[in-house]
Amino acid sequence: MRLRTLSVFGVGVVLAASACNPGTATPAPAQSSAASTPAGSAAGGGKTIKIGTELPMSGGEVANGVPTQNGVILAIQQANAANELPGWTLDLNGQDDAVNGAHDAAQGGKNMTTLVNDPMVVGEVGPFNSGVAQVEIPIANAAGLLMCSPANTNTSLTYPPDALQYRTTNPDKISYVRLAAPDSIQGPAGADYVYNDLGAHSVYILDDTETFGVGVGDSFQAEFVKDGGTVVKRDSAPKSTTDYTSLFQAVASQHPAAVYLAGTTPTGMGLALKQGRTVTGFETIPFMGPDGVADLGGPTTQGSTINIAGQAAANVFGTVAGIHDIPDAAKFTADYKAAFNADPGAYSAIAYACAQVIIQGIKTAVAAGTTDYAGIREAVRASTTAAGNSFDTVIGKVSFDVNGDTTSPYMSFYKTDMTLNNNAGGWVWDKQQAFTDPNANGNASPAPGGSAPAASSGS
Amino acid sequence: MTGMATHLRRGSSLRPILITVAALAVSYAYLGTPQFMNAMTLGAIYALIALGYTMVYGIIELINFAHGDIFMVGAFVSLWVLTVPLGLIDRPINDPAQLTLTLVIVTIPVMLFMGVIGVVIERFAYRPLRHAPRLAPLITAIGVSFILQNIIQVLFGPSPHPTPQVFPRVDVLSIPDINIFDFSIAGGIVRALNLMIILVAILLMVGLQVFVNRTRLGRAMRSTSQDREAAALMGVDINQTIAVTFFIAAALAGAGGVVYGIYFGSVQFNLGFYVGLFAFTAAVLGGIGNTVGAAVGGFVIAFITVIAAQMGYSRWSEVAVFSVLILVLVFKPSGLFGQPLGERA
C-alpha cells in the first residue's frame, strides 16, 4: 500500500514538473527528456524506468494479486542487481483494483489511466481478472502501453472479431498480450479432466455471472457435452449471493457426479463450495474450478478458497492457465522464498516472465539508441508483439501470436490435500499439459483435443 | 403510528392464518423437505433483522439504515467469540451438551453486547436529533452505517472471514452418511441446524410478542408509539422506552448475526448492506411498524428467493422480490399488515 501511495505521488510530481500530455495520441518524444530529469536525479543509480502492475491486492483477493505482483517485484530486483539495464534503475508502479475486498473493473480503469499517465511506465503486468481487462485494454491501447497479463483467460480479449472492440483507437497495434492460456483451452481442459480423470459423467455448473465465469463455464459446458457427459443444470449467481444452499438443494434430486464452479472465490465460489457441501448428495463428490478457485492459497491466506471453505475444501480440483513445471523451478522457488518468505502463487512465475518480456524490450530499445520514455514505451510494445520475436524467460521461451496470445499455452491441474498444514488443507500439483497455439492456423476456435496436446510431464 | 398495537386485535379474522397455511403447504409440496427447511431458515434470519427495522420505525418513525450493519457487527462479534475466547476451528462438535453450551455461550453475550451497542447508537446519534427535521436522523443513520462498516473493516480487514462450522454435518472425507443430529422426514433429510435456527427465531419472536403485549415496558412501548406526548403525560419514561426498543432491536439483530455466521459460514464487513436491504424490504412488505408483519415479510421474501432458485431463475430472485414489493405497495400502500394511513392523522 505504501508502495502504491508513493508511486501515485510520484506521478503527480512528474506530471507537475513536466506538464506531460496524458496521451490518447502517440506519445511525443520531445517532452520526455524534461520528464526524466527530476525523477532521474532522485533515483540515484541512473534514470528510473518503471514497470506497472495492475492487480487485485487486498481483501479476498490477497491470494490472487499479492503473489502475482511479487513475481514482478522479484524480476525487477534481480534485473537491478544484475545491472541488466546499465544507466537505468527499474522501479514498480503498483496499482490495486480491489474495492471492498473484490476486484472491480471501474477501479481497474482508473488505475490504468494512472499508469498510462506515468510517463516512466513503459510496460504493465496485469490485470488478473478478465472483466477488469475489458475496461483496461482500450485505455492502454490508446496510450500505446504494453499490457502483459499472466492470468486473464477470457477468449474475447484476444480473439477477433470480439477483441477489435477493445482496441478501437489503434486497431492495428496490439498492446495486450497474455501468457495465460485462454478459456477456449481452460474450460475444455477442466471438462476433460472431470470426465476422464475423475470419471464423473454428470455435472452441475454454477457461474458467478462475470465475464470470466460465464466464459469459462460456457467452454467447459460445450466440451463436457461433447465428451458425452450430462450437464444436469447450469446456474448463475452474482457475488452478492449469500444463500447458495438453495441452489444446490434445487439440483440435489438430479444427483450430479461432480460440480464445476465457473468463477472466482472472491466472487462467491468459495462460499458456494462451503455451503454446497452441506447439501445431501454434495458432501463428498468432486468440485472442480478454474484458476479463480485454484488460487493455491493456504488456510491462513485471507479470502483464499481453502481459508473460506475450511474442511469443505476436501476433494476439490482446479486448473491454472499456465505452466507449473518451469525449467528451473527450484531456483525460482528459493529466490521467491528468500525475497518474500512465502511460497510462490499460481501466477508468480508467469508474472515474472511477463516482467522479463518487458525488461528485454527495454534492453533492446536502449541498445538501439532510444533514450526517451515515450520511445521506449512504443519500442517495448512493438518488439513484444512483432512476429518472430521470442523471449527467454523463467517459464521457458515465449512468443506471442498475431492476436497477442502465447504460442505455447499450458494448463496445470491441482487438487486439495487436507492433510497439509496441520490438517487445515493445501493445494498439490497433479499434472500439466501443453497445448498448441490455438491461433497457429488463424482459426479463432481452437480444438485442443485429440492430437493437440504436445507433451505431458504429469506426475 | 399505531403499528405495534395491531396484533391486539387478535381473532379479528381467520383468513390470514388460512392463507398462510395454504401458502406453506403449496410451497412444501413444490420444494420438498430440505429446500422447504432452507426457505424457513432464511426467512427466520430475515425476520429477526426485519423486526429491528420495524420496531424502531414503530416507535420513532426512523428508517434505521444502520440496522443492517448492527446485524453485521453481531455476526463479527459472534465470529470473534467463537474463534478467540473459545478457540474453535472448523470442526464439528459432536457432543450435544457441549454444542448446546457453545451456542448459548455465543448467543447470549452477543445479544447483550449488541443490545448495548444499539442503546449507545440511539443515545449519541439519534436522541439529540429527536426533534430535528426527519431528514437529519435519516442521514445520521447512514453515517452510523458507514462508521460501523469501517470499524469492522479496520479491525478485521476487507476479506470474507470463514465462521467455524461447529454444527455437526456429514464429514467430507469419511464416515457416517448421516450424523446423529439430523433426521429424515418423508424421504428428505432435515438438518438439525436448520431446525435449531427456526426454533430459536420463533422463540425470540414469540418472546417479543409476549414482551410487547404483556409487560409494563411493552405497554409503555405501545403507548409511546401511539402518542409520545400523551404517553409522557401519563408518566411513561420516553427516553427509557425508546432505549429499550433499540436494545431489543439490536439484540435480535445480534442473534441474527450469530445464526447467519453458523449457517452461511462466512461473514464480510459489507454483509449488512444486502442482508439489511432484504430485511428492510421484508419490514416494508409486512407493513413497517408492525412486528408480525415484519416476521411474515421475512418469510415471504425468503420463500420467493428460494422458489426462484428451485425453478432455476436465481438471477431473477431480486427482480421477483422487488416486483412483489411494488405490487403489494401499489394495492396496499401500508403493507400486508400495515394500518391504513388515515388512522395516523
Tell me the shortest Cα–Cα distance from A333 to chain B, in angstroms. 27
8 Å CB contact of A278 and B169: yes
Query: By the 8 A CB rule, do B144 and B120 touch?
Result: no
Tell me the shortest Cα–Cα distance from A259 to chain B, in angstroms. 15
3-state secondary structure of A432: strand
8 Å CB contact of B160 and A271: yes
Identify the closest residue of chain B to A249 by CA–CA distance.
B35
8 Å CB contact of B268 and A312: no
pLDDT at A439: 63
Tens-level pLDDT at each residue, chain B (345 residues): 444 544 434 445 678 788 888 999 999 989 988 899 999 999 999 999 999 999 999 999 899 999 999 999 999 999 999 999 988 887 878 788 888 899 999 999 999 999 999 999 999 999 999 989 989 999 999 999 999 999 999 999 888 999 988 887 654 444 444 456 677 776 677 888 899 999 999 999 999 999 999 999 999 999 999 899 999 999 999 999 999 999 999 999 999 999 999 999 999 999 999 899 999 999 999 998 888 999 999 999 999 999 999 988 888 888 999 998 899 889 988 888 876 544 433
Dist. CA B283–CA B50, nearest whole Å = 5
pLDDT at B339: 66
- Among candidates B164, B165, B314 on the partner chain, residue whose Cβ is nearest the Cβ of A247: B314
Query: By the 8 A CB rule, do B332 and B338 touch?
Result: yes
- Among candidates B159, B164, B315 on the partner chain, residue whose Cβ is nearest the Cβ of A62: B159
Q: Which of B159, B118, B138, B129 is nearest to B253 (CA)?
A: B118
Dist. CA B220–CA B242, nearest whole Å = 9
Q: Is the model's pLDDT at A35 over the cut of 50?
A: no
Query: By the 8 A CB rule, do A416 and A315 touch?
Result: yes
Query: By the 8 A CB rule, do A42 and A106 touch?
Result: no
Which residues, numbered 13 to 32 in chain B, qualify as contacts with chain A under a Cβ-Cβ cut-off of 8 Å? 32
Dist. CA A194–CA A315, nearest whole Å = 12
Q: What is the ipTM of this complex?
A: 0.87
Q: Which of B57, B344, B56 is nearest to B227 (CA)?
A: B344
pLDDT at B13: 66
CA B110 to chain centre: 14
Dist. CA B330–CA B323, nearest whole Å = 10
pLDDT at A60: 84
DSSP assignment of A211-247 equals: HHHHHHHHHHHHHHHHHT-EEEEEEE--TT----HHH
Q: How many helices (H) and strands (E) does chain B have?
A: 12, 4
Report the run of H or E that residue B19 belongs to, with start and end.
Answer: helix B15-31
Which residues, numbered 308 to 337 in chain B, qualify as contacts with chain A under a Cβ-Cβ cut-off of 8 Å? 309-312, 314-315
* Eight-class DSSP state of B107: H
3-state secondary structure of A69: helix
Tell me the shortest Cα–Cα distance from B65 to chain A, in angstroms. 19
Q: Tens digit of pLDDT for each residue in A36-77?
A: 333 333 344 689 999 999 999 988 888 899 999 999 999 999
Dist. CA A60–CA A337, nearest whole Å = 22
8 Å CB contact of B315 and A209: yes
Query: By the 8 A CB rule, do A361 and A386 touch?
Result: no
Query: By the 8 A CB rule, do B193 and B40 touch?
Result: no
* Selected residue of A243, A248, A254 to mutate for chain B interface (largest B Cβ count, 10 A): A243
Dist. CA B270–CA B159, nearest whole Å = 10
∠ CA A95-B76-B304, nearest 5°, is 95
> Which long-range contacts (C-beta less than 8 Å, at least 24 apart) are formed by A248-252?
A248/A204, A248/A272, A248/A275, A248/A276, A248/A279, A248/A282, A249/A279, A249/B34, A249/B35, A249/B38, A249/B309, A249/B310, A250/B35, A250/B309, A250/B310, A250/B311, A250/B312, A251/A204, A252/A279, A252/A280, A252/A281, A252/A282, A252/B34
pLDDT at B344: 39
- Among candidates A236, A242, A250 on the partner chain, residue whose Cβ is nearest the Cβ of B264: A242
Per-residue confidence band for A13, with pLDDT thresholds at 50, 70 and 90: very low
Q: What is the pTM of this model?
A: 0.84
* Selected residue of A103, A207, A214, A246 to mutate for chain B interface (largest B Cβ count, 10 A): A246
- Among candidates A58, A283, A308 on the partner chain, residue whose Cβ is nearest the Cβ of B160: A308
∠ CA A418-A423-A427, nearest 5°, is 35
Widest Cα–Cα separation across chain B: 67
Residue A403 φ/ψ, nearest 5 degrees: -90, -10
8 Å CB contact of A60 and B160: yes
Dist. CA A151–CA A128, nearest whole Å = 5
8 Å CB contact of B164 and A310: yes
Residue whose grid cell is 477470457: A154
The answer to whether residue B264 neighbours chain A at the CB level (below 8 Å) is: yes
3-state secondary structure of A49: strand
Taking the alpha carbons of B11, B203, B325, B335 in that order, is the dihedral positive or negative? positive
The answer to whether residue B249 neighbours chain A at the CB level (below 8 Å) is: no
